[in-house]
Chains A and B, each alone.
Chain A
Amino acid sequence: MALLEVENLQTHFRTPSGINRAVEGVSFHVNEGETLAIVGESGCGKSVTSMSLMRLIPEPPGRIAGSIRFAGKDLLQMSDREMRAIRGNDISMIFQEPMTSLNPVLTVGRQIRETLMIHQGLDKQAAEAHAIEMLILVGIPEPKRRVREYPHQLSGGMRQRVMIAIALACNPKLLIADEPTTALDVTIQAQILKLMLDLKHRVGAAIILITHDLGVVAEIAERVMVMYAGRKVEEAPVAELFRSPRHPYTQGLLGAVPRLGSSLTGTARRLAEIPGQVPDLRKPIVGCVFAGRCALATDLCRQYAPGLEEKGPRHVAACHYAAKGAVAA
């Protein structure tokens, strides 16, 4: 059985100008120890999905529907108290901006300790010792000194390591990483990615990685889910997705990214553009969400929203024509 099973997740928000259907009918699962990447551009609903999993959506103005089964229990049916026991313990989260997600007036050590004292019931000494162990685990030099420092005394990369230490302190079964390296410089990003890869093997937690960076996806994900306008449009194992993307949006996305080293091999070409704009999610969308920007779109697409279809082994895409195009080719 999968560790996390999400079915028909809907997260909507009431706004003065209409209902924003930020996530509309997204289903996926994560197996134990597996890394699933959720990819998409800003506003595609990937972050709202992750916040919904943690039930961190303010209700109202938001509302979550569907089912989120974690280890067999539906998180959406739980009381707030039960949910608090899960957050930071069984499921923990790393955010993009480590400076704003750490409390600036508490020492790093205290912040790791508190998670441990609340969830694991450790006393202060045991928690302190465990906090130092965690800092060693995430590769922070001089951990005994660092536990007494405040977040502003650390660099961006160090802060992200501390965030990871806090997230992993209680041995979570699922770690949600929301753009964990986006705010970091490329050499620091390389350090954090290496750390995440190492920890993946050592800690064994399942990871949901939320990112817009296809390079980061290729680096650490095993399975990829592509989101567009609040819907899941494609899902496949990572190699399969990069080798043969089926959904026209995924194809466009991959074609729009320049490859490092392309100027050397003479494969440099004009970047593929996806024309147009993402539709307004506050208006009901009839038919396929991508139809307005898709070169293959027909009247059928504009009328009937495509469901997810099996396009290959463990490979699904929500497109009326993708499979047929591939078969013909």
Chain B
Amino acid sequence: MTDTTVNPQALPAGFVLAPQLPEILRPVTIRRGFVGLLRGHPTVAIGGTLLLLLVLIAIFAPYLGTVDPTALAPAKRTRAPSALYWFGTDVLGRDIYSRVLFGARVSLTVGLSVAIFASAAGLAIGIVSGFIRWADGILMRFMDGLMSIPPILLAIALMALTRGSVGNVILAITVAEIPRVSRLVRSVVLSLREQPYVDAAVACGTRTPMIILRHILPNTLAPMLIQATYICASAMITEAILSFIGAGTPPTIPSWGNIMAEGRALWQVKPYIVFFPAAFLSVTVLAVNLLGDGLRDALDPRMAKSL
């Protein structure tokens, strides 16, 4: 009100001035930068920050006061957390703090790789079946078949066929995740094809490959990105489960699932062996899911309802 004060005397006689009205809401201050992001999309800000922190931990694991995570020290087995061994040591005397930090590398690599590969494959399959009717029937029945097997069982079965390695874990989980992505992409593509701007592009003489590239693909990226975060989270859990039951990364590589598997037998007496990797796994999955939820709200409010 202060900057718009008018002096009623200045209005010539015979003119009526509208009544002055009070402000009924506190003024909105539009903030930019991190504070603005935190206020506008708190989940993105919190999830993103947590995830960034974990990525930094994974990258700089060797410089964060860790020792060789595979170094055995039979004399110092199952020590409780202390100033020397922050998270304690496991049955073979290895430093759990170092193992958990290096384990972040495995989890994040698997999560990120599966998200990228499954999205790329799902995008291709979804677009093909959204555009080619005869391929749609075949591909979608195949995907139905894959979806009828629980993803974990499918991943275990695939791992049974190969050697345990990070690469094979990524491959197995990717195959298990593809059906869900391709179904999503297909439904997005089918609804985009109904959009008037696609019809207008057809009328403008745009060829089908260009229609896909220019009008369909860019508009599937937002829902894809959201789905990718959920895949990333679920891939990290699946990896941990596979490693936990001994069907995942080889025991020589410290991954959160492996650490928990090794601590399983002792978990009632030495719970910290299981606790720290489990806590890291939960926080990482939570961070990724927060980021996904936030992105969903931020990118498209309408899509938020349909997902």
Residues of A near any B CB (own CB < 8 A): 8, 10, 12, 14-19, 24-25, 63, 65, 231, 284, 286, 300, 303-309, 318, 320
Q: Quick check: which of B23-31, B115-123, B138-146, B270-278 contacts chain A, the rest being far away?
A: B23-31
**CB contact between B28 and one of A18, A24, A300, A309 (< 8 Å): that residue:** A18
Chain B 8-57 residues near chain A, CB threshold 8 A: 11-12, 15-19, 21-25, 27-28, 30, 39-40
Contact between A8 and B21 (Cβ–Cβ < 8 Å)? yes
Contact partners of B16 in chain A: CB under 8 A? 306-309, 320
Bound: A311/B189 CA distance, A: 57
A306-B24 in contact (CB<8A)? no
Residue B4 is within 8 A (CB to CB) of chain A in the complex:
yes
Per the bound structure, the CA–CA distance linking A144 and B56 in Å amounts to 70
Q: Which residues of B contact A307 (CB under 8 A)?
A: 16-19
Residues of B within 8 A of A303 (CB): 6
Q: Please report the C-alpha to C-alpha distance between residue A14 and residue B11 in the assembled complex, in whole angstroms.
A: 32
Determine which of A14, A17, A231 lies in contact with B25 in the assembled complex, contact meaning CB atoms within 8 Å. A14
Instruction: Assess whether A12 is in contact with B25, with CB atoms less than 8 Å apart.
Output: yes
With A10-B24, A16-B30, A18-B28 given, is the CB distance from A305 to B17 under 8 Å?
yes
Contact between A16 and B12, CB atoms less than 8 A apart: no
Q: Is the beta-carbon distance between B12 and A305 smaller than 8 angstroms? A: no
Closest to A284 in B: B4
Residue of A nearest to B15 (CB): A320
B17 CB contact (under 8 Å) in A12, A17, A306: A306
Contact A25 B15 (CB under 8 A): no
Chain A's closest residue to B14 (CB) is A324
Which 10 A-B residue pairings sit nearest by Cβ, starting from the closest?
Answer: A307-B16, A305-B18, A65-B24, A307-B18, A25-B21, A309-B16, A12-B25, A63-B24, A18-B28, A304-B11
Hey, which chain A residues are within 8 Å of B25, CB to CB?
Answer: 12, 14, 19, 63
Nearest chain B residue, comparing its CB with the CB of A316:
B16
Known A-B contacts A19-B27, A63-B24, A300-B12; A306 and B4 likewise in contact (beta carbons under 8 Å): no
Q: Is B18's CB under 8 angstroms from A25's CB? A: yes
Establish whether residues B4 and A14, one from each chain, have CB atoms under 8 Å apart when the complex forms. Answer: no
Q: Whole-angstrom distance from the CB of B45 to the nearest CB of chain A?
A: 14
Most chain B beta-carbon neighbours within 10 Å: one of A18, A304, A320: A304
- A231 and B22 alpha carbons, distance in the complex (Å): 15
Q: Across the interface, do A16 and B24 meet the contact criterion of CB distance under 8 Å? A: no
Q: 11 more A-B contacts (CB under 8 A) besides A10-B24, A14-B28, A63-B25?
A: A10-B21, A15-B28, A18-B30, A19-B23, A19-B28, A63-B24, A231-B18, A304-B17, A307-B19, A308-B18, A320-B16
Q: A17-B30, A18-B30, A303-B6 are in contact. Are A65 and B18 (CB under 8 A)?
A: no
Q: Say which residue of A12, A15, A18, A318 sits within 8 Å of B24 (CB atoms).
A: A12
> Which residues of B have CB within 8 Å of A305?
17-18
A304 CB contacts on chain B under 8 angstroms: 6, 11, 15, 17
In the bound assembly, the distance between CA atoms of A275 and B42 in angstroms comes to 41
Cβ–Cβ < 8 Å partners of B23 in chain A = 19
What is the chain B residue whose CB lies nearest that of A27? Answer: B19
Closest Cβ of chain B to A28, distance in Å, is 15
Complex Cα spacing A309 to B16, Å: 7
State the interface size on chain B (CB cutoff 8 A).
Answer: 20
State the CA gap A15–B16 with chains docked (Å). 32
CB of A119, distance to nearest CB on chain B (Å):
31
Chain B residues contacting A17 (CB-CB under 8 Å) are 28, 30
Closest to B22 in A: A65
State the CA gap A198–B12 with chains docked (Å): 49
Which B residue sits closest to A307, measured CB to CB?
A: B16
A16 to B28, Cβ gap below 8 A? Answer: yes
20 contacting pairs across A/B (C-beta < 8 A): A14-B28, A16-B28, A17-B28, A17-B30, A19-B27, A19-B28, A24-B21, A25-B18, A25-B19, A63-B24, A65-B22, A286-B4, A300-B11, A305-B17, A306-B17, A306-B18, A307-B16, A307-B18, A308-B16, A320-B16
Q: How far is the CA of A149 from the CA of B40 in the complex (A)?
A: 45
Most buried by A among B18, B21, B23, B27: B18
A303 to B6, alpha carbons, bound, how many Å? 8
Closest residue to B21 on the A side, CB-wise?
Answer: A25
Instruction: Report the bound CA distance from A17 to B30 in whole Å.
Output: 6
Q: How far is the CA of A19 from the CA of B24 in the complex (A)?
A: 10
Which residues of A sit under 8 angstroms from B4, Cβ to Cβ? 284, 286
Closest partner residue, chain B, to A320 (CB atom): B15
CA A128 to CA B195, docked complex, whole Å: 45
Give the chain B neighbours of A15 by CB distance below 8 A. Answer: 28
Inter-chain contact A16/B6, CB cutoff 8 Å: no
The listed residue (B15, B18, B24) touching A300 by CB distance below 8 A is: B15
A130 vs B5: C-alpha distance when bound (angstroms): 58
Cβ–Cβ < 8 Å partners of A318 in chain B? 18
In the assembled complex, which residues on chain A have CB atoms less than 8 Å from the CB atom of B28? 14-19
Q: How far is the CB of B32 from chain A (nearest CB, A)?
A: 11
Q: How far is the CB of B16 from chain A (nearest CB, A)?
A: 4
> What's the least CB distance linking B190 to chain A, in Å?
23
Q: How far is A192 from B6 in the complex, measured between Cα atoms in Å?
A: 48
In angstroms, Cα B273 to Cα A322, docked, is: 82
Smallest Cβ distance from B28 to chain A, in angstroms?
A: 5
Nearest residue (CB) in A for B29 is A18
Residues of chain A within 8 A (CB-CB) of B12 are: 300
Contact between B15 and A306, CB atoms less than 8 A apart = yes
Minimum C-beta distance from B182 to chain A (A): 31
A57 to chain B, nearest CB (A): 12
Q: How far is the CA of A305 from the CA of B21 in the complex (A)?
A: 12
In the assembled complex, the Cα of A47 lies from the Cα of B172 at a distance in Å of 54
